[in-house]
Amino acid sequence: MARRINARKVKEKIPDEMDVVARNWGSFPLRVRRRIVQIARAYDPVEEVECFPTPTGAAWHEVEIVFLAPEWVWVQVRDVKCTFTFSRMWLADKRKPGVARSEWRMLRTYAENPDPDAYYRLPQRPNLKMDISKFRRWLKKFFGIPGDPLLPFKPMRWMPRFKVRIDEKKGDYLR
């Protein structure tokens, strides 16, 4: 015959982990407290993320992305126009919400250097193919347009099939 466990007594015996942390905060070493704060910040509510309201049947050549400021872009597909920050475009680092991910840096690099070798102006790194793959996946997910958003033109070199540029009036902020 199995014994029944009284859930109320079990809850009383096992204290809430956050209560333990709060009561003993001063006794934790500084490095542990910093790490706890860092982990807690990673779970802060994130700014609302959304997909672009892409019109049905849109193609990559109809997409235009214009940088207005280091964190802001203006996006247009056909008649639909929206302004986004990198965090609203799912491009904020989850561990450091104020820092943009590599996809945002790629987008900025393509905007700063419209020539085909733009991405090679960044420091050399071994994970270029992985970054390009993540960039492709993000573009497809955010815009919901089928097909490849990047056109391969040489081995290990890609050009965007969409327009990306810096606003002429506000373009000095990046330089």
Q: What is the pLDDT of residues 105-149, one digit of tens each?
A: 888 888 887 766 665 655 566 777 788 888 899 999 999 999 999
Instruction: Report the distance separating Cα 77 and Cα 61, nearest Å.
Output: 9
158's tokens: 């890609």
Instruction: Report the distance separating Cα 88 and Cα 115, nearest Å.
Output: 28
Is pLDDT at 73 greater than 80 in this prediction?
Answer: yes
Confidence of residue 55 (pLDDT cuts 50, 70, 90): very high
Maximum distance among all Cα pairs of the chain, rounded to whole angstroms: 80
Going by the DSSP 8-state scheme, the letter that residue 154 receives in this structure is E
Cα 46 from chain centroid (whole Å): 11
Q: What is the pLDDT of residues 13-32, one digit of tens each?
A: 445 566 666 677 778 788 88
